[in-house]
Structure 1
Amino acid sequence: MPSPKFHNSFRQYHRWIGFFLAGIMAVYAISGVLLIFRTTDFLKYESTHERQLEVGLSGKGLGEQLRMKGFAVVEETADTIRFRQGEYNKQSGEVVYTQKDYPAPLAKMVKLHKATTNSPLFIVNIAFGVALLFFVVSSFLMFMPRALPYKNGLKIAGVGFVLMVLMVMFGS
């Protein structure tokens, strides 16, 4: 059985890493809440963009060039292609469209939260996940196994685990 010194060391590491990660957790919490509302216009603003593309694109080719979420052609004539967010001139190749996005600081936070292996930020997400896993383990090493807080902590953690399993199974 580990000594009280071992448990005190983990309390210290838990505290230091907790203080270090407090700011990171705040950013992840805010961006996570924003992502809940990603299908709405909550905190988003509209901006107009003009781009020069190839001349004479088809509706499908235009969609591939713009890579816009929810792109759909509304009307196509000999000279123009109208889509939900804007219009493309087939003769000049000019496209004018509007997009809704978060203000720059919020957009960066959401990008951090959604980082994939294609982004250099994914290392931050992995490190954060590992740090949270450390918190899970170290929270049980902060108390002696025979202590009442340890036993109560196991019960509470068990209830939380069961609740999340049920939510994942039946909430989606």
Structure 2
Amino acid sequence: MASPKIHNAVRKYHRWLGFFLAGIMSVYAVSGILLIFRKTDFMKFPQQEEHQLEKGLGEEALVKQLGLKNIKVESQQGDLILFADGQYNKSTGAAVINKVDYPMPLAKLVKLHKATHKSPLFFLNISFGIALLFFVISAFLMFMPKLPLFKNGIKIAIAGAGFALLVVIFSS
């Protein structure tokens, strides 16, 4: 059984880490909301990219150089290769890509949320996850186990975990 001194220390760390993580959580919340609408054009704007590629590329080499998925050449008019999202001029090597994407600050937020182990943002995501696990554990150490508040907290946590599991199981 932990002493009241330990419980008070955990409360202090929980509080200060909570204030710090409030900022991080707000960033993750915004990026999570944006990701819900990633298949739509919500908050996205038309953008045009220009690339200078090698001259005279064929279809396969063009797809490889641009690094875009699912490029399908629609037509070829002289030196121009036209595809759904832009065009490539064989004689000049100029490629123009038209796309709809988030403005730069929002694109960075989405990139944060989608970071993988190959991204430098990986460490922020792992640190954030560990901090959230600390919150889960420290929430139960803030109150003495004998108190009704602690016992009710356990019941509410079990209900929350059950709700989350039901949503995950039945939503897909």
Query: Same fold by TM (over 0.5)?
Result: yes
Residue identity matched to 1:18 = G
Distance 2:57 2:166 in 1: 49
Question: Which residue matches 1:27?
Answer: 27
Partner of 2:131: 131
Query: 3-state SS of the aligned residue for 1:143?
Result: coil
Q: How does 1:92-111 map to 2 (within 5 A)?
A: 92-111=92-111
Given residue 128 of structure 1, which amino acid in structure 2 is its aligned partner?
Answer: F
Query: Which residue pairs with 2:91 in the alignment?
Result: 91
Distance 1:20 1:29, change over 3 A: same
SS in 2 for 1:43: coil
CA apart distance, 1:77: 5.0
Q: Root-mean-square deviation (CA), in Å?
A: 1.5
Deviation of the 1:75 alpha carbon = 2.2
Correspondence 1:46 to 2:46: yes
1:81 alignment partner, SS class: strand
Amino acid at match of 1:119: S
- What residue ranges of structure 1 are gaps of 5+ in the alignment? none
CA–CA distance in 1 between the matches of 2:170 and 2:67?
Answer: 34
- The answer for unaligned runs of 5 or more in structure 2 is none
Identity of aligned residues (%): 58
**Greater mean alpha carbon deviation, residues 147-156 or residues 127-136:** 147-156
Q: What's 2:61 paired with?
A: 61
TM-score (normalizing by structure 1): 0.93
Q: Which residue of 2 aligns with 1:171?
A: 171
AA aligned opposite 2:7 = H
Q: 1:140: how far off?
A: 0.7
Detail structure 1 runs of 4+ shifted over 4 Å in the superposition.
Answer: none
Distance 1:121 1:100, change over 3 A: same
**In structure 1, C-alpha distance between the alignment counterparts of 2:70 and 2:159, rounded to whole Å:** 40
Q: Is the counterpart of residue 154 in structure 1 residue 160 in structure 2?
A: no
Bigger Cα displacement from structure 2, 135-144 vs 42-51: 42-51
The 3-state SS of whatever aligns with 2:43 is: coil
How far residue 79 of structure 1 moved from its aligned partner, in angstroms, is 2.5
Give the residue type in structure 1 aligned to 2:95: V
| 1:168 Cα offset (Å) | 1.8
